[in-house]
Amino acid sequence: MIKQVFFIAIILFFGACQNVKYPKKPKNLIPKDTMVSIFTDSYITNAAKGFNKGMMQRKGIVLENFLYKKYHIDSLQFEESNAYYTANLDEYHDIFDSVQKRIELNLKRVDSVVDVILAEEKRVKDSLREAKEKRRDSTKTKKIDTIIPPVRTGRLLESSRTLDSI
């Protein structure tokens, strides 16, 4: 009985999938490379929104509108293009492979910049520490000189008085 129900469910599932209507290619289809850029920027802006949502709300930044303005598209054009690419899984897969590669490249760039900044901060901290140590060493030397006065014997003092009186 369970096998018969399972078999009927599979037949109904595949029968329902045969009448799927794929969207027609829109007249104003967004090119694949532009879609890659839009999705890449979308991921980055969504990450930024998750990072500092309050600041974006205070400044009235709506990220979707930002992307539409940047790429000179509207929401309908994006939705139609996205529906078209979604129906063509090979193209959609290519788009998201490219998005992933771009994001990884951007991460490598950011990591290299962060490495440079961290190296510079370390160099500055090291130079400040060295300067403090030099200053500390020079003040220790001066303190030693002022604490221990030069030793003068009575004879030198007497001979200097004699020379002054002449």
Mean pLDDT (the chain) is 77
Q: Is 148 helix (H, G, I), strand (E, B) or coil?
A: coil
Regarding pTM above 0.85, the answer is no
Residue 161: inside a domain: no
Residue 123: inside a domain: yes
Residue 64: inside a domain: yes
Task: Provide the number of structural domains found in the chain.
Answer: 1
pLDDT, tens digit, 9 for 90 and up, residues 127-156: 888 888 887 776 665 555 555 555 555 555
Using alpha carbons, select from 29, 105, 36, 23 the residue that is nearest to residue 67: 36
- Residue 59: which domain range? 23-146
Residue 162: inside a domain: no
Residue 159: inside a domain: no
Q: Letter for the amino acid at 45?
A: T
CA–centroid distance for 165 within its chain = 81
Position 124 scores a pLDDT of 87
Position 34 scores a pLDDT of 93
Residue 34: inside a domain: yes
Contact 108, 51 (CB under 8 A): no
Q: Letter for the amino acid at 92?
A: Y
Position 12 scores a pLDDT of 57
Q: Letter for the amino acid at 124?
A: V
pLDDT, tens digit, 9 for 90 and up, residues 72-96: 999 899 999 999 998 888 888 999 9
Q: Is 79 helix (H, G, I), strand (E, B) or coil?
A: helix
For residue 90, give both structure tokens. Answer: 């090979």
Residue 7: inside a domain: no
Residue 87: inside a domain: yes
CA distance 121 to 115: 10
